[in-house]
Structure 1
Amino acid sequence: MAGVYLHIPFCFTLCGYCDFYKSTKLDKMDQFQNVLLMEMESRSVDFRFPIDTFYVGGGTPSLIAADFYQKLFSLLHKNFNCSVNMECTIEVNPDDISEDYLHALKNAGFNRVSIGIQSFHEQDLRQMGRRHNAQQSMQAVALANSCGFSNIGIDLIYGLPWSTEQFFEKNLQIVKDLPIQHLSAYHLTIEKGTGFHRLKQSGKLTEIDDSRSLREYEMLCNEVEKMGMQHYEVSNFCLSGYESKHNSSYWNGVPYLGLGPGSHSFDGKKRRWNKSDLTLYNKGNLDLIFEEEVLSEVDFFNEQVMLGLRTSKGISLTEMEIRFPHYYLDFLKRIDKWIHRNNLVVTNGFITCSESSWFVVDSIIEDLFVV
């Protein structure tokens, strides 16, 4: 099976933390929509995998009128071999949605919504540059639920320099009473090119220390476990059976097709990405908008390590031995020290990261890379 991802690069305002490709040139949306439909039809010719998941992210997909998504689904089903039970997700902002809009999205074909809440505290939202307020966040979840969405996810951000552990705990207490099935919680990282990075460079913003980061992470894990959610990936939690199938396909190495500027694709052998350039994309010359590379054995090995250790499933040692015989013995030696430190665990032939060590998993992954 495979997935299709659409990147909607438009935002009404720019959030200080976000490093995804986006544009505030909303007057370019109509032309973008025309090119996106053209790209979908064109790419369907050489991407012949059965489609099991469809995901619209951004940017802010909820800035696009629902009737466009109806056209999109028609073209998707016309040109791809789509599963009857295809998971179809759209990211929405709390202040964009209404009852009519949600019903239209559902009628178009979406069966899962991901609501970009980030925090239920007004100060947090103002500092991050979010357009909505806390009340709109709770109303958005309630509205999605009342409109018949039974697979609702929300996003939170923790590790905020101006906030406190107590405020984050209050966020989690609000979450436990919401009718959601999925939670993505990300520690704030200050990426180059963002507004927060510029503030950091000028000395106006400082990242929190590691000890507080760890305390908030442990609080997150403990509180979400009380909610009955499973911790199935470093930053993702869900009720049983509500894992994000689309995101899981990335972590499991399943092929996926990316459409729109800044999107990425993988066909099992090579990686392809559209340039992050809306002006170029909107010219509609599909031969000029992308770059690609054929992945080497080292690339595949490192990706297997990186993606596998970020999930509760982990890495199959048998699969590693079969796929990467040249690196397998050295891999066993490298993981041994992490096993003795109780950072990694071997269970039934799978190597996994202990939950307490997921907080530092990037350091473990980097040590296991072949360079």
Structure 2
Amino acid sequence: MAGIYIHVPFCKTRCHYCDFFKSTNLAFRKQYLEKLLEEIRERSDFFEKNNTPVQTIYFGGGTPSLLKVEWIEKILESIQTNFRVIDNVEITLEANPDDLNFEYLKAIKNIGINRLSIGVQSFFDEDLKRMGRRHNALQSRSALEWAFKAGFQNVGIDLIYGLPWSDSNLFLSNLDVLQEYPIVHLSAYHLTIEPNTQFGKLKLQKKLFEIEDSKSEKLFWNLHDKVEQLGFEHYEISNFCKEDYFSRHNSSYWNNEPYLGVGPGSHSYDGNHRYWIKPDLHQYVTKGYSEGLSCESLTTTDRFNEYLMLGLRTQKGIDIKRMMENFEEFWINIQPKVQKWLDSDFLECEDGYIRGTRKGWFVIDGVIKDLFLVD
């Protein structure tokens, strides 16, 4: 499986927690589109070595819903022209609730968008205001109603938990909305206060702090239990879905499949190399992608560590047989550490897979760090 990610680096405003590459200068959207189409044409041979058809297309950002319908259509037409794309390709658009109306949603569905990821973040106006979101709770509900009215079936929402001013009961009441609408996917992210953000500045001023680890863990498992009770599968540490509605695009990342990222700030992977384009919008629109394109070759250790990290973040876990086939020496090398985590009930071994336990999954990043190998 192969995927194409389109980075749309535009936002009307910058949220207080966000450190993603984006620009609030919307004047460059037309030039961006021209250079993006040029990049898609020039990188049309990216998957030729693996002869892999494109099965997923993902518009991320930034705020892809700031693109006009005709621009999205041009991008999709260019991808269809320059790549081998399967008939039932998954095409996702990330969207902000206040950008959406029934006419826009109907139009993007007609040109091929078949999956929506709506950045709700919270259904409480106080949360939204304090996070610097530009929509309100009513707009989120309206966006959901219009999406289903327009005929979308594969609709997911994003929520943020671990807000310092909130409490677990208030956050968990957000999940009641999953019963009010036929939502099939949930991405729930714990708030992390990044240095170069408005929240980061407040942290330096000692006006805002992350919640305690013990509270974070309790909230994580309360979230897990309630969403599973609603019929969702917790298939990746931050992602839940109804049966068969997992994100095929994101799963290609976790399964170590090749993907092409286009647009400033995007990343690509072909199995042996990582590529990235400098997050510089001005350079991109004036000189094109190639001026800011960089590449690194992955060592066997790099690939082993990546497979380890991505596998342990999923419910399925690490395929031991695949580890032995591809990284036998490395896998044998870390067995004492793996056994340590098995003995302490942070990992479990079942049906040929090693995965995090209920005790271990919330702190799985620490387990992964311990198991990493260094060249």
**TM-score, length of structure 1 as denominator length:** 0.98
Is the 1:141–1:179 Cα contact (8 Å) retained in structure 2?
no
SS at match of 1:206: coil
**Partner of 1:362 in structure 2?**
365
Is the 2:345–2:359 Cα contact (8 Å) retained in structure 1?
no
Is the 1:120–1:134 Cα contact (8 Å) retained in structure 2?
yes
**Partner of 1:351 in structure 2?**
354
Q: Deviations over 1:237-291 (max 9, x none)?
A: 0001000000000000000000001100001110000101001111133321211
**Partner of 2:43 in structure 1?**
43
**Partner of 1:176 in structure 2?**
179
Q: CA deviation at 1:357?
A: 2.1
Q: Which deviates the most, 168-177 or 139-148?
A: 168-177
SS at match of 2:222: helix
User: What are the within-5 Å matches in structure 2 for residues 119-198 of structure 1?
Assistant: 119-198=122-201
Q: CA deviation at 1:174?
A: 2.4
Q: Deviations over 1:197-242 (max 9, x none)?
A: 1111111111111121112111101110111000100000000100
Q: Which of 211, 215, 224 does residue 214 from structure 2 map onto?
A: 211
SS at match of 1:272: strand
Separation (CA, whole Å) in 2 of partners of 1:85 and 1:174 = 29
Structure 1 gap ranges (5+): none
**Partner of 1:234 in structure 2?**
237
Identical aligned pairs, as a percentage?
Answer: 49
**Partner of 1:86 in structure 2?**
89
Q: Deviations over 1:65-90 (max 9, x none)?
A: 11101111111111110011100000
**Partner of 2:290 in structure 1?**
287
Q: Deviations over 1:186-206 (max 9, x none)?
A: 100112212211111111111
SS at match of 2:163: coil
**Partner of 1:335 in structure 2?**
338
The residue identity in structure 2 corresponding to 1:150 is Q
SS at match of 1:291: strand
Separation (CA, whole Å) in 2 of partners of 1:157 and 1:176 = 18
Separation (CA, whole Å) in 2 of partners of 1:179 and 1:32 = 35
Q: Which of 322, 330, 335 does residue 325 from structure 2 map onto?
A: 322
The residue identity in structure 2 corresponding to 1:46 is F
Q: Which deviates the most, 309-318 or 89-98?
A: 309-318
Q: Which of 228, 233, 245 does residue 225 from structure 1 map onto?
A: 228
Q: Deviations over 1:132-156 (max 9, x none)?
A: 1011111111111111110001000
**Partner of 1:17 in structure 2?**
17
Separation (CA, whole Å) in 2 of partners of 1:166 and 1:318 = 42
Separation (CA, whole Å) in 1 of partners of 2:140 and 2:253 = 28
Q: Which deviates the most, 171-180 or 255-264?
A: 171-180
SS at match of 1:288: helix
Structure 2 gap ranges (5+): none
CA RMSD of aligned residues (A): 1.0
Separation (CA, whole Å) in 2 of partners of 1:215 and 1:268 = 37
The residue identity in structure 2 corresponding to 1:32 is Y
Is the 1:155–1:184 Cα contact (8 Å) retained in structure 2?
yes
SS at match of 2:98: coil
**Partner of 1:96 in structure 2?**
99
The count of aligned residue pairs is 371
